[in-house]
Amino acid sequence: MKIPIKLVRTLAAVSLLAGAPVFAGSFTTDFSPGSTGYTLAGTSTPPAPPGGYLTNYAGVNRAVLAPNVSISAGSVTVWDSALDNSQAIESFVANFKLLLGPGSADAADGVSFNFGPDIYDGQIGIEEGTGPTALTVSFDIYDNGVANEFGAPSTPAVDILFGGVVIASHAYDKADMVTSQLEDVSIRLTRAGKVSVVYKGEIIHTNVFIPGWAPTKGLFNLSSRSEDGSCEQEVADLSINTVLQGAAVAPTILTNSASATVNDRGSTNFTVV
């Protein structure tokens, strides 16, 4: 089979139509005293203390989302001005350390990582997320006794939710989540609307497609609560990198390559400028 080089050149040009990503925000915090770029919020039923405060333990700065008491909650919300200034993003990578434990005999309830257009500064969500428009990765450590809750087959689990519905679930034994140790977490959303999650050094979700996902502006938030029991729930070393929604860029060919004919399985060289 002989393939005209002009056809090859045309196909190469079409492949450029996907466009180049527009790099945007980069946010990092170690939650040291005086650090900025985020809002801490907390609530509780007295006399229990609220979450949403900074501390240092074993030489590591961290944000306490919920202390080891019942009926307490808290959150960290990254400022819009610290990342994308209300511009739509198409993808992101988030990394942080997450501590669950110690806690009560049946520790509760869990932590959610959230991104969405309706998240507001200072919002405190629950372990299943912040609302119906958010993309959520839930670290749910408590079984509420509700069959198929939010579409999840079982808890404890690390779930991916969108629109308030579980898209994918990875079940755990509670002891494997409530370790009282800072565990590494990495969450990646691609421009194709696929989510991957690494937890405790293990890839537990790979390229999970999110139906209906589209680039959007929004805020990042981590929320937690202890209601049905208690559990220390903390986050440390948070970093988020985003990519702005990019428009397709049509290629421009300034100089045509010379015509050539290539025999089947043959080769040649050409240049497109």
Point out the least confidently predicted range of 77-86, 155-164, 252-261: 252-261
pLDDT at 46 over 50: yes
**Residue 159: what residue type?**
D
Mean pLDDT computed over every residue of the chain: 86
**Residue 199: what residue type?**
Y
Q: Where does the chain have alpha helices with state H?
A: 5-14, 174-177
Tell me if 1 sits within 8 A of 261, measured CB to CB.
no
Rounded-to-integer distance, Cα 159 and Cα 138, Å: 5
pLDDT of residue 246: 82
90's CB contacts (< 8 A; 6+ apart) are: 21, 191, 215, 243, 244, 245, 246
pTM of the model: 0.81
Point out the least confidently predicted range of 65-69, 181-185, 206-210, 244-248: 244-248
pLDDT at 18 over 60: no
Rounded-to-integer distance, Cα 273 and Cα 271, Å: 6
pLDDT at 147 over 70: no
Q: Give the pair of three-digit tokens for residue 105.
A: 């005999």
Q: Give the pair of three-digit tokens for residue 23.
A: 């790099």
Tell me if 61 sits within 8 A of 31, measured CB to CB.
yes
Distances (CA, A) of 2 to 9, 10, 180, 257, 261: 14, 16, 65, 17, 6
Tell me if 177 sits within 8 A of 156, measured CB to CB.
yes
pLDDT of 247-261, one tens digit each? 544 554 544 566 777
241's CB contacts (< 8 A; 6+ apart) are: 25, 26, 27, 92, 93, 94
Cis peptide before 251 (omega within 30 of 0): no
pLDDT of residue 8: 39
pLDDT of 84-125, one tens digit each? 899 999 999 999 999 999 999 999 999 999 999 999 999 999
Q: Cα torsion for 227, 229, 230, 233, to the nearest 10°?
A: -60
